[in-house]
Structure 1
Amino acid sequence: MTLDQIDSALLRLLQVDANQTAEQLGAKLGLSPSQAGRRRQRLEAAGLISGYGARVDPDAVGLGVQAMIQVHMAAHAPDAAQSFAALVARRDEIVGAWVMTGDADYLLRIYCHDLPALNRLVQEVLLPHSSVARVQSQIVMAQLKADGPLPL
């Protein structure tokens, strides 16, 4: 799907606040509410908008520790990768997971209530997996830039 300038502007607006009404979007884009609504529906139907959600403040809900964990695998067979992916999918504290190039095979983004919870995740969940050779965790001291919109 080819995006025109209005589609890109609409996506930028929705990334900042997806609760905007068609009336609000139309006013900002110079479109009628029905035109803005149809463009939004078209972008949704084409899969450019994959969902909507609320941003929750982790500290406010007691998730005081954020960490990035690099996982190094001992085995790289497809069944090992599938087993590890299934483990990652089951764990709520793993909020992001990426397959990486370079030294580590995976990068996991973790939110935990405290350091003992992070330690349990590493020692009792990740390291016992049969294909995991080692993990390296880095605790986030401060987030300089919040997760932001895509640069459209």
Structure 2
Amino acid sequence: MAEHRLDRTDRRIIAALQADGRLTIQELSERCGLSPSPCRRRVLMLEEAGVIQGYAALIDQAKLGLPMSVFVSVKLERQREEELDRFASSIAHWPEVMDCYLMTGQRDYLLRVVVRDLEAYQRFLMDKLTRLDGVASIESSFALGQVKRSSALPIVEA
């Protein structure tokens, strides 16, 4: 899909929705200096263009009983397309994996895994990750604390 050209008003809408995705069209239009009908059209256009991909609640993982974040570096035996696809397909269905990035450098993937405790991480490791064909090595790093978390992308003026 071609890149969607964002003007100043689109950027204001995106910034407002990133700050509060529950804004009504009326509230959003007031914050962005538009009347409700053009504001609604712009939001729909941003959704249809895939700029806005959806809406979600931000949940405190510790209050949900998942206080542990583990960053897992995975190296595959081979970096051929079919091995990369197989790995990506497998982990896509694992709810513990919150983020997964294909990386450059010494490791092929970086995952952020959330679990209840060390025992739950060990089960994830033994029952899922180590059972995947083609995994050469796994390195786990345990987060001691979270310094910053944001789901809002920086909105830069064009």
How many pairs are equivalent? Answer: 152
Aligned to 1:19: 22
CA distance in 1, matches of 2:76, 2:35: 54
Find the counterpart in structure 1 of residue 8 from structure 2.
5
State the partner residue of 1:72: 75
Conserved? CA contact 1:98–1:108, under 8 Å: yes
TM-score normalised over the length of structure 1:
0.95
Name the aligned partner's letter for residue 60 of structure 2. D
Give identity over the alignment, percent: 34
Matched, 1:96 2:99: yes
**What's the TM-score, normalizing by structure 2?**
0.91
Give, in angstroms, the shift of residue 9 of structure 1.
0.9
Alignment of 1:32-47 (within 5 A): 32-47=35-50
TM-superposed deviation, 1:60: 1.0
Q: Could you report, residue by residue, the CA deviation over 1:16-74 in whole angstroms, capped at 9, with x for unpaired residues?
A: 11110111011111111112111111111111001111111111111021111000111
Runs of 4+ in 1 over 4 A off after TM superposition: none
RMSD between superposed Cα atoms in Å = 1.1
The amino acid across from 1:18 in the alignment is G
Write the letter of the residue equivalent to 2:31: K
Q: Distance in 2 between matches of 1:36 and 1:60?
A: 36
Unaligned runs of 5+ in 2: none
Query: What is the CA-CA distance between 1:140 and the residue it aligns to?
Result: 1.1
